[in-house]
Chain A
Amino acid sequence: MNSENTIVYVRVAGRVRDGFLDPPKFHWDLERDKSLWSSVSKLDNTKKTIDWKRLSREFKAPEHFIRKRSYTLFAKHLKLLERQIEAKTRSL
């Protein structure tokens, strides 16, 4: 399942397009997701902000997608850490 053999239709009830443009299709897979994670999880601390535009160019994917994917990956990782810390403190 990928951008070539799969299509998603989002049917929005009771609304008009109102200038909204369908985002262009792009390719994303597990490999890219892994390299995105290694990119954003290893950003060095001296830089205060993430250059989303650069990442978007580098990964050939829209910025909104790169931001959302990174957010999700971070959120899940933090949740996992939280659970591990809880488990550890309980066993103390």
Chain B
Amino acid sequence: MSSETNLPAVEPFTVTVVDRNVKHQIENGAGEEGHPDHELQGVMFATNVKYIFEDDEEPLPEQEDPAIENVVIIEADESLRVTQVELISDQFKQLGFEVHDGNEVSIDALSRFETPRQLGSLPLEKLVQLYKLQNDQLHSLFNTL
């Protein structure tokens, strides 16, 4: 099959994973003037990206790297529209994902719930708010089962 000329060039994907765990709200040392993206400590960047072109008969890179703990699989059609995103990990569960212009994939994830000691020193209003938020997150998790 000859390559068609009207297909867009492959623009590299960028993948960010945001851990919505409430612990990041507690650790947050806020105050300094910064970017809204940086107020939560839970943003992570998956910058080791490999591409698999299904029409190519390249052998799949199946060496098992023991250092790899999380795998993200992004399925795209031939015009590079993202059709599916899947996060495989013991530490994080995927709640959802968004795709922005320019092949930017942002995954909402959740790490294990914790009960950090600092929690006790928070005002009751904040604790109630965190409790409600965790309930919503539990709900989202159940919906992914």
Measured CB to CB, the residues of A under 8 A from B are 1-18, 20, 22-23, 25-30, 33-34, 37, 41, 61-62, 64-65, 68-69, 71-73, 76-77, 80
Contacts and interface: CB of A to CB of B under 8 A. Distances in A.
B121 interface: no
B133 interface: no
A40 B10 CA distance: 26
Interface string B55-71: 11010000001011111
Contacts of A69: 14
Contacts of B10: 12, 15, 18, 20
A56 to B, nearest CB: 13
B12 A25 contact: no
B30 interface: no
B17 interface: yes
Contacts of A80: 36
Given A1-B91, A7-B70, A10-B13, 4 more contacts: A7-B50, A8-B48, A27-B47, A65-B14
Contacts, number: 166
Interface residues of B, number: 53
B78 interface: yes
Contact of A7 (B45, B72, B76): B72
Nearest to A25: B48
B125 to A, nearest CB: 22
B36 A1 contact: no
Interface string B1-44: 10100010111111101010000000000000011111001011
